[in-house]
């Protein structure tokens, strides 16, 4: 799971980073000092889980959670403000951790998040059959999922690249990513999601997908390595 730390105090961000390192299924993709920066990173990156402080300058953690309510990513509050526990759980967050956070308590919360994440992936994957539909201008087209090579963000549109043709739809890569089956497609760059089954080779910061060169950013490299099966 890709994680984001949101806390205005560096010392606590350092503590959470060390705790994340205890679980090799977690990948830290970023850290933020405030909710505004966090909201932008959530748009740009593939974030599955946020470790979110409550008391921060400007928009606080509760307010950010309300903005994100009902959407990915999952949220675990990490705070010293016990009086916000009831309000936090009403927002349907995964857990509420009081600072200082013990390793055992942290890992227990992470296990809860992983169970929820797994169920969400199964549910989302179950919405997909062999085909999906897109609206291309005024035409509704049926596409075979396995024929899709990759998705590329281009401004307010997303290009869907197939072997011999491509389509452009008005959407964001974040929305597309939330609808895709996670076991088939993976985000490897802020502008690209690839079909894992179509990767021919990888070298340095580049993937070859059916003769197309796809950049891989450092933020997604570790997660890509987890999904690629090596002999």
pLDDT digit string, tens, across residues 187-223: 999 999 999 889 999 888 999 998 899 999 988 888 7
Same domain membership, residue 106 and residue 8: yes
Same domain membership, residue 102 and residue 21: yes
Tokens standing for residue 1:
């799971």
Same domain membership, residue 78 and residue 177: no
Same domain membership, residue 84 and residue 30: yes
Last residue of a domain, one of 126, 143, 170: 126
Last residue of a domain, one of 70, 102, 126: 126
Quick one: pLDDT at residue 179?
A: 77
Quick one: pLDDT at residue 100?
A: 93
Burial of residue 90, with CB atoms counted within 10 A of its CB: 0-12 exposed, 13-18 middle, 19 or more buried: exposed
Same domain membership, residue 184 and residue 151: yes
Count of domains observed in the chain: 2
Quick one: pLDDT at residue 71?
A: 63
Please give the share of the chain, as a percent, with pLDDT higher than 90: 49
Quick one: pLDDT at residue 70?
A: 60
Task: Please determine, for residue 164, whether its predicted confidence score (pLDDT) is greater than 70.
Answer: yes
Between 81 and 62, the more confident residue is 62
């Amino acid at each position: 799971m890709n994680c984001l730390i949101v806390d205005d105090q560096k010392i606590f961000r350092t503590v959470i980073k060390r705790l994340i390192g205890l679980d090799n299924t977690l990948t830290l993709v970023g850290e933020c000092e405030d909710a505004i920066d966090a909201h932008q990173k959530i748009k740009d990156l593939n974030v599955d889980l946020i470790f979110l402080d409550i008391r921060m300058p400007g928009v606080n953690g509760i307010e950010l959670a309300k903005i994100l309510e009902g959407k990915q990513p999952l949220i675990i509050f990490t705070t010293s403000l016990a009086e916000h526990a009831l309000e936090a759980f009403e927002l349907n967050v995964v857990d509420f951790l009081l600072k200082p956070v013990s390793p055992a308590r942290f890992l227990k919360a992470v296990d809860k998040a992983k169970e929820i994440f797994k169920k969400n992936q199964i549910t989302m994957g179950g919405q997909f059959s062999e085909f999906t539909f897109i609206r291309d201008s005024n035409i509704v087209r049926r596409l075979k999922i396995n024929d899709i090579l990759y998705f590329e963000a281009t401004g307010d549109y997303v290009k869907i690249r197939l072997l011999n043709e491509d389509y452009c739809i008005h959407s964001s890569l974040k929305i597309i990513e939330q609808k895709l089956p996670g076991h088939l497609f993976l985000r490897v760059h802020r502008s690209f999601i690839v079909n894992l089954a179509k990767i021919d080779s990888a070298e340095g910061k580049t993937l070859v997908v059916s003769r197309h060169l796809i950049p891989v950013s450092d933020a997604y490299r570790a997660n890509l390595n987890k999904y690629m099966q090596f002999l």
